[in-house]
Structure 1
Amino acid sequence: MTPGLPTAMDRPHFIGIGGAGMSGIAKILAQRGARVAGSDARDSETAQALRAHGATVHVGHAAEHLADDATCVVVSSAIRADNPELARAAELGVPVVHRSDALAGLMGGLRPIAVAGTHGKTTTTSMLAVSLSALGLDPSYAIGGDLDAPGSNAHHGTGDIFVAEADESDRSFHKYDPQVAIVLNAELDHHANYASMDEIYESFETFVGKIVPGGTLVVAADQEGAAEIAARVAGKEDLNVVTYGESEKSDVRILAVTPRGLTSEVRVELAGREIVFTVSVPGRHYAHNAVAALAAGVALGVPADDLAAALGKYTGVKRRLQLKGEAAGVQVIDSYAHHPTEMTADLEAIRGAADGSRILVLFQPHLFSRTQELGTEMGQALALADASVVLDIYPAREDPVPGVTSEIIIAAARAAGADVTAEHDKAAAAGVIAGMAKPGDLVLTMGAGDVTDIGPQILAHLTH
C-alpha cells in the first residue's frame, strides 16, 4: 500500500524541521514524493539526513527561506508567533498547518496505532516499529526519537499499519483517529497547558473518543491515572478495552519480570496461555511497555507468539538508557528522563543492573514550569543516585520564571540526604563529573535538553 500525499502537502515548509516530531513527518513526506523544505535554528545530523532524502534545510530562521510556491507551512506548538517565516506565510497567504494535522493526514487510509501516555511513548512506539518491521509487515511510523542512526525516527512503509507517538502535551493527540490506542499512564505534567488531573483525564477521554468504531483501547491496569481513564470509558459502545499489567484482573497479565543483567525475561498470560519473551533493555517499566506493544499488535491481528519473539529484536532507542561509551572503566549512559517518575524508573532500572556499581548523574532540568511544579520531586528522585551534578534549567520554549531555578531541585535532593552539586557553567560540567568518577562507576547524563551532548565530552575527559 502506498498512500498519496495529503491535500496541499506536496510542497511543505517546516519551521523547526530538525525537531524530533517535525523531522519524522518531513521524512515521510519526502519519501512519498513531496518537495520538502524547512529551517532550523542550527544544523544537525538530523538535518543532514533529511537532505539525503532530497529536502532543502536552511540554518536559521529568515523570511526569505520560505519559497513563494510553498503549499503550506508546518509548525509545532513550540514555534513563536513572531517567527519571520510565519510572518512571511501570512503575507503570502500560505496555509499554516499544525504538526499534528500533518501527521493525521499521513495516517489516512491506513490502520493507525497511536501510543499515548505521560511516559514511555517513544519506547513503546519504537518497540512496535522494530518488531512489526522484523516480522516483514513494513509499517509506517513516526517516533519522538531516533532508533539508531540520525533520521531513523520515521519511515514510510509499504504495509497498512501506521505506528505513531501521540503527544498529549498540547492536546494535539485529539487529531488522530486510531484503530488501536495505547494509554500507558496519565500523570500531571505540561503545567503550561494543564492545571489539574481532571483536565488531564478529560484530554485523554477525548483522545480515546477518537478511536474508530470497533477499535481497541490498550490501557495499563496498574497505573492509577490510566486505570481512571479505563473506568471513565468503561461501557462505551463500539470500543474494545484491553487491560495489561500485573493485576490479576488484567486481560494481558504480567506474571513475572526477571532481570537478566541489562535485559529482562517477561512472562505473560494472554488468552489463557503463557508466553515468555526477552526485552533487551533493563527495568520493569520497559517490560510493561513491551507488553503494551504486544497487546496492541495482537489487537491488530498480529500473532502473539510471532510478535513476542520479534519484540526481542528491540535494543533500545536513542536517549532511553543508551550506552554512549566506556572509558577508564566508566560507562556513560544517556537518559531522556525529565519528569520525576521517569527519573525514578531509570535510576531504579540502572541500579538493578549495576551490580553494585556507583551511579553518578549529570542532571539538566527541563522547563521552568515543570521545575516550579515538580522540582521537589526531581530532587527526591536524584537521591537514588550515589552523587549528582545539577545544571541550570534548559528553557526550551519558555521564558524564565522569577524565583524558579535549579536550587529548588538541589535543596530537595539535599533534604533527602543526597550528595548533590550545583554547576552553573555547562562547559565545565563534563570535567566536573568525570573528575568524580572512578573505575566501575556508571555516569548518567539525564534530561530532555542538550545535556545529551555532554556524554562524549565526559568520555573525552575520562580518556585523558
Structure 2
Amino acid sequence: MQQFPYVFFLGIGGIGMSALARWFKANGHQVSGYDKTETPLTQALQAEGIAVHYADAVENIPSEIRENKARTLVVLTPAIPATSLEWAWLRGQGYDIRKRSQVLGVLTQGRPTIAVAGTHGKTTTSSMVAHLLRQAGLDAGAFLGGISVNLGSNLLLPKSATAPVVVEADEYDRSFLTLHPDVAIVTSTDADHLDIYGEQSALIDSFCQFVGQLKPGGTLLLNHTADERVAAAVPPGTRVLRYGLAAAPHLDLFAGNITTEGHQFHFDLHSPQGVVAGLKLAVPGFHNIENMLAAAAAAQLFGVREMQLPEAVATYRGVKRRFEFIVTRADKVYVDDYAHHPREIEAFLRSLRALYPGKKIRVIFQPHLFTRTRDFAEGFSKSLSLADEVVLLDIYPARELPIAGVTAEMLLTAITSPAKSLQTKQQVLENTRNNSTFDVLATVGAGDIDTLVPQLKKLLDSTEIPQN
C-alpha cells in the first residue's frame, strides 16, 4: 500500500470504510473521500484532517486525486450505487479501484489475524477480543464495525508490524473471502443477505469457504447454533471449539452460574483450559455472554492469561448502539440497540425482560432494507411481540429501491403485543411526551433511527416527562 500516497474513499462514512480511512491517515497517506450524508462520524473524520465532500460530482474530487492517477488508490464500498458520477469517472480514467474487503485482505497479510464472522454478533465480539488483548497489555490492532466505547473509535492501531489484528469478517457480498485468519470465530449462520445469496444454502457455502481459508494449525470457534457443514469445512489439522450459553455434551466452551446484578451479568467461563469463575460483564444480554465466551477463548490463544480475564471482562464497556443504556431514571430506562435481524431482536428483548421482569417495555423499531423485511417478515413480527408495545417506523431503504407491497405495515398484523402502531419519527417524539406509560423504552434498528436517540434522551431527561 506504500505505493499509494493518496487514498480516496467512495462511501467514506461507512463504519468499516472510516476505520480504513483512519488507518491510512495514521500511516502517512493523504486521505479524502465522498459520502452522500454528513454524520457525526464524517464530521469526526474531518476533524482528524480527512477531507470529505457530500455532493456526487467529479469536480468535488480533490485536485491531488485527479492529478495523480498512478499514485492513488480508490477504495469502494458496495453501498455506492452504480449511478455514482464519481465512480463512473474514476473507473473510466483507469484508477486502481478496490473494494474495502480487498484492501482489508491486503492489510492483514503477514499478520496473525483473528477474524470474527457471523450474521450477527460480529461487531460486539470483535470489539471484545480487541479490548481483552489491549487490557492485558498486549500489542494488537483492530478494524471494527462499530465505535468501541473503550477505544472511542472503530480502529485500534498496532504498535508493531507483527502484532495480531482483529478483523470483523463481513459475509455481505462475500467480503470475508479475502481473509486468511489464524483464528476464526463464527457467531451465527442464520439466513440473511438473501438479496445477495438467494437462499441460505448459498450463504452456508460461503461460510464454509471462509473457514476453509484458516491457516494451517488454526482454530475455529463455532457457535453451537451454526450449521454443522461449517465445522466440516475446516482444513485438516484445524481445531474446532464449539461454544454456547449452557453446558452440553458437545460444547467445549460454556457459561455456568449465570446471575444478574443491576445491569451486570455474572457467570463462570468453562473451557478446555479450566474454569474462570466470577466474571462480571457490564454489557448485559445472554447473547453477550456467548460473545464473551468466544472472545475470551480467542484472546487466550493470543496470550491473555487466565488471571487477567476477570479485570479485562469487567472493564469492557461495549459498542455504541449495542445494548447501550441512554437513560437510567429511577422510574424510566431507555436502551438503544442496533438489532436488525429477528434473532437479534429476540435475544435483545429476552435479555431486557431478564433485567426488568414485570416492567412494561415499549420498543420502537425501524426495519432495515426492503428485501430483509420481505424475507423475514414472520420472524420480525414474532420477535417484536415479546414487547408490551411495538411502534414501527417506515423501512429504511439504505442501498435498495422500494419493492411493491413491502412496507412496515406488513409486519403489524402478525404482531401480538397488546399495543402496536405505525408512526413517523415526529409522532414518536410527540407520543413519548404525551403517553409515557412505559417503564422501559427501546429504540431498535440499523437505519437512521439513531437520530431519534438524542431527542428521546432530552425528553426523558427533562421535566416534560415527570418522574413517577
Is TM (by shorter chain) over 0.5? yes
Native 8 Å contact 1:132 1:307 kept in 2? no
The corresponding residue for 1:143 is 144
The corresponding residue for 2:348 is 346
Alignment of 1:94-109 (within 5 A): 94-109=95-110
Native 8 Å contact 1:15 1:73 kept in 2? yes
More deviation, 52-61/340-349: 52-61
Work out whether 1:38 is the aligned partner of 2:33: yes
Q: Deviations over 1:8-44 (max 9, x none)?
A: 4431100111111110111111111111110111222
The corresponding residue for 2:233 is 233
Report % sequence identity.
Answer: 36
Q: Deviations over 1:116-146 (max 9, x none)?
A: 0111111101111112111122321111111
Alignment of 1:383-422 (within 5 A): 383-413=385-415, 416-422=416-422
**Aligned match of 1:54 in 46, 49, 64?**
49
AA matched with 1:284: F
Q: How does the TM-score come out when normalised to structure 1?
A: 0.92
- Shift of residue 266 of structure 1? 1.7
Work out whether 1:75 is the aligned partner of 2:51: no
AA matched with 2:451: D
Distance in 1 separating the partners of 2:447 and 2:417: 26
The corresponding residue for 1:377 is 379
More deviation, 450-459/305-314: 305-314
Distance in 1 separating the partners of 2:434 and 2:131: 38
Alignment of 1:331-370 (within 5 A): 331-370=333-372
Distance in 1 separating the partners of 2:273 and 2:126: 26
The corresponding residue for 1:317 is 319
Q: Which runs of 5+ in 2 are unaligned?
A: none
More deviation, 350-359/177-186: 350-359
The corresponding residue for 1:210 is 213
Alignment partner of 2:216: what SS?
A: coil
After superposition, the Cα gap between the structure-2 partners of 1:272 and 1:29, relative to the gap in structure 1 and judged at 3 Å, is closer
Q: Deviations over 1:141-173 (max 9, x none)?
A: 111111139960112221501111110121100
Native 8 Å contact 1:332 1:455 kept in 2? no
After superposition, the Cα gap between the structure-2 partners of 1:172 and 1:204, relative to the gap in structure 1 and judged at 3 Å, is same
After superposition, the Cα gap between the structure-2 partners of 1:334 and 1:65, relative to the gap in structure 1 and judged at 3 Å, is same
After superposition, the Cα gap between the structure-2 partners of 1:327 and 1:386, relative to the gap in structure 1 and judged at 3 Å, is same
Alignment partner of 1:170: what SS?
A: helix
Alignment partner of 2:173: what SS?
A: coil
After superposition, the Cα gap between the structure-2 partners of 1:272 and 1:79, relative to the gap in structure 1 and judged at 3 Å, is closer
Work out whether 1:453 is the aligned partner of 2:448: no
More deviation, 335-344/259-268: 259-268
Work out whether 1:17 is the aligned partner of 2:12: yes
Aligned CA-pair RMSD? 1.9
Native 8 Å contact 1:180 1:211 kept in 2? yes
Distance in 1 separating the partners of 2:210 and 2:45: 31
- Shift of residue 195 of structure 1? 2.0
Distance in 2 separating the partners of 1:142 and 1:380: 34
Count, aligned residues: 451
The corresponding residue for 2:112 is 111
After superposition, the Cα gap between the structure-2 partners of 1:163 and 1:458, relative to the gap in structure 1 and judged at 3 Å, is same
More deviation, 161-170/239-248: 239-248
Runs of 4+ in 1 over 6 A off after TM superposition: none
Alignment partner of 2:434: what SS?
A: helix
Q: Which runs of 5+ in 1 are unaligned?
A: 1-5
Distance in 1 separating the partners of 2:7 and 2:295: 32
**Aligned match of 1:164 in 123, 143, 167?**
167
Distance in 2 separating the partners of 1:405 and 1:174: 33
Native 8 Å contact 1:376 1:408 kept in 2? no
Native 8 Å contact 2:325 2:334 kept in 1? yes
Distance in 1 separating the partners of 2:418 and 2:39: 36
Distance in 1 separating the partners of 2:337 and 2:409: 21
After superposition, the Cα gap between the structure-2 partners of 1:150 and 1:248, relative to the gap in structure 1 and judged at 3 Å, is closer
AA matched with 2:430: G
Alignment partner of 1:399: what SS?
A: coil
Q: Deviations over 1:371-409 (max 9, x none)?
A: 101112111111111111101100000000000001111
The corresponding residue for 1:243 is 242
